[in-house]
Amino acid sequence: MAHPTGARGRRPPHSGARPPERDSGRGGGPIRRPVKGPGLNIPIAAKFTFLIVILVVSAMAWQAMVAIDKSVDHLEAEINDNGIAHTLSLAKLIDPELIGNFDAAAQQKLESLLGKYKQSENIKAISILKPGGLLASVGAAARRSVKTTPISYAKAESSGISISEFEDGRVPVRSYSKVIAGEAKVEVLISAVSISKSREDLKSSLMKISIIACVGAAFAALLLATILTRPVRTLMRDLRQVSMGDLKHQSQVNSSDEFGNLARIFNRMTMNLQTAQSAKLAQKAMEHELSLATSIQAGLLPAELPQIPGLDLAAYYDSAKEVGGDYYDFLQVDNNRIGVVVADVSGKGVPGSLVMSMTRSMLHMAARENRSPKDTIIEVNNCLAPDMNPGMFVTLAYLVLDTRSREVRLVRAGHNAPLLYSSRHGQVIDLHPKGIAIGLDREGPLFSSQLEPQKFTLQAGDVLVLYTDGIVEGKDPQGRDFGDDRLHQLLLENRERPASEILETIMAELRSHQKNAEQSDDITLLVLKSC
């Protein structure tokens, strides 16, 4: 009973590629963190201006504090020196006997002396005091209850004068006192309002200068930043233009600084992007053409295996590239005969695919009603060889099977020898009738003379295997071939199994041998088992 195969054992190209990566948005994959936006967009000129203003304000504030401190120190020294001089002068003018024999007349004399001495506007009061009370005074002298603050001054201390400061009606006053005539002391009160007034005046003046300096610095910094960042703004416009798809755009920044270098790098980048885009478009066009060629080539192969009573068929095809140079087919010679061919074009890719298509077309025309496989292949060579480029050739194994008598007539044009497991002999036989590849003899006589047919009859249990060199020359990662002996052994071990299982076993062993090595050649395998 016939056991026709209903499946075409075709493996998709590049089946050894890595599986696609898992979706990182699902569990188990890497977590994608959200990309934060740029935040507040502050121009470089504004940042530069702000920095300059901060630096100027800091410098002016430090300068103002130093200037105020030095000016106040100088003014204090001047007031202190003046107060010390007045106090020492008065101490020398006062007669100790007036203090020792103090009475109303002595008080009148002392006050008269103090009144004559108080001529400076800065002197608020002069007093002569004793631990028991006030002896004489000119000006305000009722400040005994006011809290005073001692002031240290080296010149005063060396002269025996004590300095303190207090406020008299919110007016700062400094006291300069010196002991005279035993326990008595003379005290001179001098207004210190000029110190605070000088401090306020200095603050006001320096504040005005600082404001003017800051405004000027801000204007100068903004102008400088605007000039310095002009190339950056130009480059930003250039980038915006390129981001809109204008890869021919070139930056016009021609300065000799870093911005000029950046612009030149930008121009080279856009030219490289334009070149890469052109190459990518060309690659996409080529990939599209290859996809069309793959579809066309797939349409040239048998859509399904023929149903032949008493024969079990299985077929496998896999190209090393998008399009390949291997070919297998089943041709209807006449009502009782069918042609079976396996061919291999030298070279792979598009050139091999084109030659394969030419071979298929000529074979279909030559095989019709031609029972002689030799005559068919000679006609194909005569038509095809003159049009093939030097170095190109086609190897093939072609047989004509009589579906009634199971008689097979085989020719081999330089192709791998088909294998026949003979149930009568119990062994695998290499079928290698003589013949050279199509295209080597452009004239034809040599090809015709070398082509030798071989005739045999399929018996029940016989298995016929036709294949291309992609099977036996399949390499493992170390570069070792799968080998003819291994193919013989697999056929012998699996001879009792259906054709599809024999084919699957051979391909599984080949894949196990190749492991992760890249497929270097097209693979075609046909298995015919007589039932």
Domain edges within the chain: 44-197, 307-530
Which residues are CB-neighbours of 403 under 8 A, at least 6 positions away? 308, 309, 310, 311, 336, 337, 338
* pLDDT score at 418: 96
Spatial strand order of the sheet with 394-402 comes to 326-332, 337-345, 394-402, 407-413, 454-457
10-14, 81-85, 120-124: range with highest mean pLDDT:
81-85
Structure tokens at 32: 């994608």
Q: Domain 44-197: give its CATH superfamily.
A: PAS domain (3.30.450.20)
- For residue 18, pLDDT over 50 is answered with no
Give dist(CA 463, CA 491) in Å, integer: 8
Structure tokens at 529: 């088992």
Count of Cβ atoms closer than 10 Å to residue 271 Cβ: 13
86-90, 259-263, 406-410: range with highest mean pLDDT:
406-410
- Mean pLDDT over residues 76-97, rounded? 85
- For residue 505, pLDDT over 90 is answered with yes
Alpha-helix runs per DSSP H in 125-184: 154-158
The answer to whether 356 and 326 have CB atoms below 8 angstroms apart is yes
What DSSP letter does each residue of 230-265 carry, written as one string?
A: HHHHHHHHHHHHHHTT-TT-------SSHHHHHHHH
Report the DSSP pairing between strands 427-430 and 419-422: antiparallel
- Mean pLDDT over residues 201-227, rounded? 78
Q: Is 362 exposed, middle or buried (0-12, 13-18, 19+ CB in 10 A)?
A: buried
- For residue 488, pLDDT over 80 is answered with yes
- Mean pLDDT over residues 325-332, rounded? 90
Per-residue CA distances from 69 to 66, 73, 268, 453, 464 (Å): 5, 6, 60, 121, 113
- Mean pLDDT over residues 295-304, rounded? 77
121-130, 156-165, 350-359: range with highest mean pLDDT:
156-165
Banded model confidence at residue 182, pLDDT cuts 50, 70, 90: confident
Give dist(CA 306, CA 343) in Å, integer: 19
Maximum separation of any 2 CA atoms in the chain, in Å: 173
Task: Please name which of 395, 413, 417 lies closest in space to residue 464, comparing C-alpha atoms.
Answer: 417
- For residue 7, pLDDT over 90 is answered with no
- Mean pLDDT over residues 237-249, rounded? 80
- For residue 202, pLDDT over 60 is answered with yes
What are the two backbone dihedrals, phi and then psi, of residue 363, each rounded to the nearest 5 degrees?
Answer: -65, -40
- Mean pLDDT over residues 90-97, rounded? 84
The answer to whether 430 and 423 have CB atoms below 8 angstroms apart is no
- Mean pLDDT over residues 373-402, rounded? 91
How many H helices and E strands in the chain?
Answer: 12, 17
Which residues are CB-neighbours of 286 under 8 A, at least 6 positions away? none
Which residues are CB-neighbours of 106 under 8 A, at least 6 positions away? 98, 99
Alpha-helix runs per DSSP H in 387-498: 445-450, 469-472, 484-493
Between residues 132 and 326, the one the model is more confident about: 326
- For residue 274, pLDDT over 50 is answered with yes
* pLDDT score at 40: 60
Mean pLDDT taken over the chain: 81
Could you give the percent of the chain with pLDDT greater than 70?
Answer: 86
- Mean pLDDT over residues 102-128, rounded? 79
* pLDDT score at 39: 55
- For residue 1, pLDDT over 70 is answered with no
Q: Pick 307-530's CATH classification: 3.60.40.10, 3.40.50.2300, 2.40.110.10, 3.90.1310.10.
A: 3.60.40.10
Task: Please name which of 337, 340, 314, 344 lies closest in space to residue 329, comparing C-alpha atoms.
Answer: 340
Between residues 326 and 146, the one the model is more confident about: 326
* pLDDT score at 136: 84
- Mean pLDDT over residues 462-478, rounded? 93
The answer to whether 349 and 357 have CB atoms below 8 angstroms apart is no
